[in-house]
Chain A
């Protein structure tokens, strides 16, 4: 990776202006993935002085600054107590601690990485992303946007909601990207389910969620549930696993996950 200029931003407005001053200017998160994919950057913009690394809470939400590291969020006790350790359980399988001390929440989200183990858990927690200019939108809406935003991700907002969680990463080796990951969260209102690394980017299994949330005796609807999942979400091939393998995993862990969040709720 070649970097022509380095700019340490003094404000969000300053960072935004530099970002828009050239099409090959980039915001630096942890820069771990950027280093692997970017050949040349005109101006690298560093947000480290903008106090975006804090994790704060209001009565209703946790607000995670976009420059907070993965390890900081993983070890944020209050956040993990609320979400039944879902964040911690999903992050512990992302490389090692030294990696997670470097990678940032913002960098992990903004790239909409298909292999991400974090996006699924954030989806089922109904997270919202806050941009400097565009303001807040649901993470789901952001993931569905076609264009990469030329904006600065400021924070992630996670609603405070108690519940039971399930997370499973299936991978060929412990440090490899997932063949498939599955996140579930059962709040008082509903169960939410997301599948990532399909190998497409994480998405909510809305049809399956509808069935399970509207059917008290879901065990009798297992086939319907599985069919709804496989019809709605696309599972495909890549070097880590085949479509058929992913579909088999998805069915198995859909049922196991539901059983677990239901069981733990008793």
Chain B
């Protein structure tokens, strides 16, 4: 079945199976930033933005996304570079496997919460697991990113 969507600001048409997930579709077509971590809706490494909202691509059937807008870090370069900058400053970056997913979640949080408290930040990002950093350095990087006047 043909599904038409806007992927990273470009209209794309994909021929997909009925049970194909967005994660599978994206990786099949070279969008390799989206990672297959747990494949059980638990780790957040497959996070993408669908119509601006962070969602788990491992659990979304592509067939349901007709005419939706999907964004991965490839489509959000400028903002992701800023997040990456603060991750670097805080030493929050180790293996990098979770970074694309967490960067999109951080960006979505900035869009939806004005001046989030520490607890709100933790609650928003709790679904994006990092097995290297222990989250503390990431948390500091997020605080600095949110304070970025740009």
Point out the residues of chain B lying under 8 angstroms from A92, CB to CB: 123
Would you give the shortest CB distance from B74 to chain A, in whole angstroms? 18
Beyond A32-B59, A99-B127, whether A48 also contacts B54 by CB under 8 A is: no
- The reply to whether B42 and A31 form a contact with Cβ atoms under 8 Å apart is no
B106-144: which have CB < 8 Å to A? 108-109, 123-128
How many angstroms from the CA of A99 to the CA of B53 in the assembled complex? 11
One of B1, B59, B123, B124 near A102 (C-beta < 8 A): B59
- One of A1-9, A135-143, A242-250 at the interface: A1-9
Total interface residues on B, CB under 8 Å, equals 28
Point out the residues of chain A lying under 8 angstroms from B19, CB to CB: 1-3
Residue of B nearest to A69 (CB): B53
One of B41, B47, B64, B109 near A28 (C-beta < 8 A): B64
- Contact of B60 with A by CB under 8 A: yes
- The reply to whether B124 and A97 form a contact with Cβ atoms under 8 Å apart is yes
- Contact of B29 with A by CB under 8 A: no
Residue of B nearest to A40 (CB): B19
Point out the residues of chain A lying under 8 angstroms from B1, CB to CB: 6
Would you give the shortest CB distance from A117 to chain B, in whole angstroms? 14
Point out the residues of chain B lying under 8 angstroms from A101, CB to CB: 50, 53-55
- Contact of A175 with B by CB under 8 A: yes
Total interface residues on A, CB under 8 Å, equals 26
How many angstroms from the CA of A96 to the CA of B59 in the assembled complex? 14
How many angstroms from the CA of A174 to the CA of B109 in the assembled complex? 20
How many angstroms from the CA of A48 to the CA of B1 in the assembled complex? 17
Q: Which of B41, B42, B128 has the most CB of A within 10 A?
A: B41
How many angstroms from the CA of A32 to the CA of B61 in the assembled complex? 10
- The reply to whether A175 and B126 form a contact with Cβ atoms under 8 Å apart is yes
Beyond A6-B1, A97-B54, A99-B127, whether A31 also contacts B40 by CB under 8 A is: no
- Contact of A30 with B by CB under 8 A: yes
One of B17, B41, B53, B63 near A32 (C-beta < 8 A): B41
Beyond A3-B18, A30-B59, A35-B59, whether A175 also contacts B42 by CB under 8 A is: yes
Interface of A is mostly: mixed
A71-119: which have CB < 8 Å to B? 71, 92, 95-99, 101-102
Residue of B nearest to A44 (CB): B18
Residue of A nearest to B66 (CB): A8
- Contact of B56 with A by CB under 8 A: yes
Point out the residues of chain B lying under 8 angstroms from A4, CB to CB: 18
- The reply to whether A98 and B18 form a contact with Cβ atoms under 8 Å apart is no
Point out the residues of chain A lying under 8 angstroms from B63, CB to CB: 6
A18-37: which have CB < 8 Å to B? 28, 30-32, 35-36
- Contact of A161 with B by CB under 8 A: no
How many angstroms from the CA of A5 to the CA of B41 in the assembled complex? 23
- Contact of A54 with B by CB under 8 A: no
- Contact of B84 with A by CB under 8 A: no
Which B residues form the contact surface with A (CB < 8 A)? 1, 17-19, 40-42, 44, 47, 50, 53-56, 59-61, 63-64, 105, 108-109, 123-128
Give me 9 other A-B pairs in contact (C-beta within 8 A), A3-B18, A36-B40, A175-B126 excluded. Answer: A6-B18, A30-B59, A36-B41, A95-B126, A95-B127, A96-B128, A97-B105, A98-B44, A102-B41
